[in-house]
């Protein structure tokens, strides 16, 4: 009976993760549409964070206080939370800038190198033990990234530089996520990210406001960024409540399917064979690393 419950929770976690990935791909698609329509990425990020934070303030914050008796802003390391949130905002702005000039599939795949970067630096920054399998996965991942970013490929030099910057910033955010999880509940980190992102982008957005008022279609797309961001991150967090991270991580790389599908349906963009091979190498290296980490932490698991 217990095994059946665990399997049920695992499949529920996988379903929530995949649905969350498709929802976040809708966010990326909306961001790319708006950027191509002339809206500055800071304005897009501001709308995303404002709606996201308003939703969390109405729903998650009161629920957290009722359950724990603590204010959701109460953190053991508030300064580190603010620094992480500012980096997350920078990561969002840079990634939307990437999507403006890079197809969805390629932009998503380049960001997948961030977990591999974390593996590479974890022995020094996180004091984690190093294993040969990790270095093999990191090496393969960077080979895949070089294939995707190759000279003469589908990505311009500006896209290459922005994509590399996006992956590096996201890797730093991932490291801070792991640090913060040692001190604060994930919901506190999630709320800090939204609130600080909203405040910082509100300070920036008057300098980057669009010169024309959005029509009904553009207004709906702008509003959808906040809704899809909130729903997508909620589903991903729900997935990790039902199953272990080591079991779910390989399915994280399936987001390249949703990104490729949306890129094809909305923008008519499909990666060429060489680029698709590079994307496949990145995903395979990440999935292989996740599998080895799970086997290492569960040596008796079937």
Q: How distant, in Å, are the alpha carbons of 7, 13, 21, 171 from that of 1?
A: 10, 18, 30, 40
Neighbours of 66 (CB within 10 A): 8
Q: What percent of the chain has pLDDT over 70?
A: 92
Q: In this structure, what are the phi and psi dihedrals at residue 270, rounded to the nearest 5 degrees?
A: -130, 140
Which pLDDT tens digit goes with each residue over 117-154?
Answer: 887 777 777 676 777 877 888 888 888 888 888 776 66
| Average pLDDT of the segment spanning 73-77 | 89
Neighbours of 156 (CB within 10 A): 11
The predicted pLDDT at position 85 comes to: 93
The predicted pLDDT at position 299 comes to: 65
Entry pTM: 0.85
CA–CA separation, 35 and 101 (whole Å): 9
Closest CA to 73 of 90, 87, 86, 61: 61
Closest CA to 291 of 242, 241, 245, 256: 245
248, burial (CB in 10 Å: exposed 0-12, middle 13-18, buried 19+): buried
Residue predicted with more confidence, 200 or 300: 200
The predicted pLDDT at position 302 comes to: 53
| Average pLDDT of the segment spanning 46-53 | 91
The predicted pLDDT at position 292 comes to: 79
Token pair of 72, please? 């959701």
Q: How many CA atoms lie within 13 A of 7 on its CB side?
A: 5
Which pLDDT tens digit goes with each residue over 199-248?
Answer: 999 999 998 887 777 788 888 888 888 888 888 888 887 787 777 666 77
Per-residue burial over 22-45, b if 16 or more Cβ lie within 10 Å, else e, is bbbbbbbbbbbbbbeeebbbbbbb
Mean pLDDT of the chain: 84
Q: Is the pLDDT of residue 264 over 80?
A: yes
| Average pLDDT of the segment spanning 258-282 | 89
């Amino acid at each position: 009976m217990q095994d059946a419950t665990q399997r049920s929770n695992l499949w529920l976690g996988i379903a929530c993760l995949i649905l969350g990935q498709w929802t976040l791909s809708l966010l990326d698609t909306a961001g790319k549409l708006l950027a191509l329509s002339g809206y500055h990425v800071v304005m897009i990020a501001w709308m995303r964070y404002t709606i996201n934070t308003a939703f969390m303030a109405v729903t998650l914050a009161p629920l957290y206080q009722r359950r724990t008796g603590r204010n959701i802003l109460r953190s053991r390391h508030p300064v580190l939370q603010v620094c992480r949130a500012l980096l997350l905002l920078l990561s969002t702005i840079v990634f939307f800038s990437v999507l403006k000039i890079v197809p969805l599939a390629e932009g998503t795949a380049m960001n997948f190198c961030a977990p591999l970067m974390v593996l590479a630096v974890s022995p020094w920054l996180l004091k984690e033990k190093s294993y040969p399998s990790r270095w093999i996965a990191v090496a393969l991942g960077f080979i895949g990234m070089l294939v995707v970013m190759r000279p003469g490929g589908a990505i311009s030099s500006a896209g290459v530089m922005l994509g590399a910057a996006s992956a590096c910033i996201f890797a730093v955010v991932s490291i801070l996520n792991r640090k913060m999880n040692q001190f604060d509940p994930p919901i506190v980190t999630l709320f800090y990210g939204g609130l600080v992102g909203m405040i910082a982008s509100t300070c920036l957005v008057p300098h980057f406001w669009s010169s024309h008022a959005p029509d009904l279609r553009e207004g709906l797309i702008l509003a959808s960024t906040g809704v899809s961001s909130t729903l997508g991150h909620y589903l991903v967090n729900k997935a990790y409540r039902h199953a272990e991270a080591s079991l779910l991580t390989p399915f994280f790389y399936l987001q390249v399917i949703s990104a490729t599908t949306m890129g094809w349906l909305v923008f008519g963009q499909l990666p060429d064979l060489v680029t698709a091979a590079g994307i496949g190498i990145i995903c395979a290296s990440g999935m292989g690393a996740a599998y080895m980490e799970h086997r290492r932490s569960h040596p008796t698991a079937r």
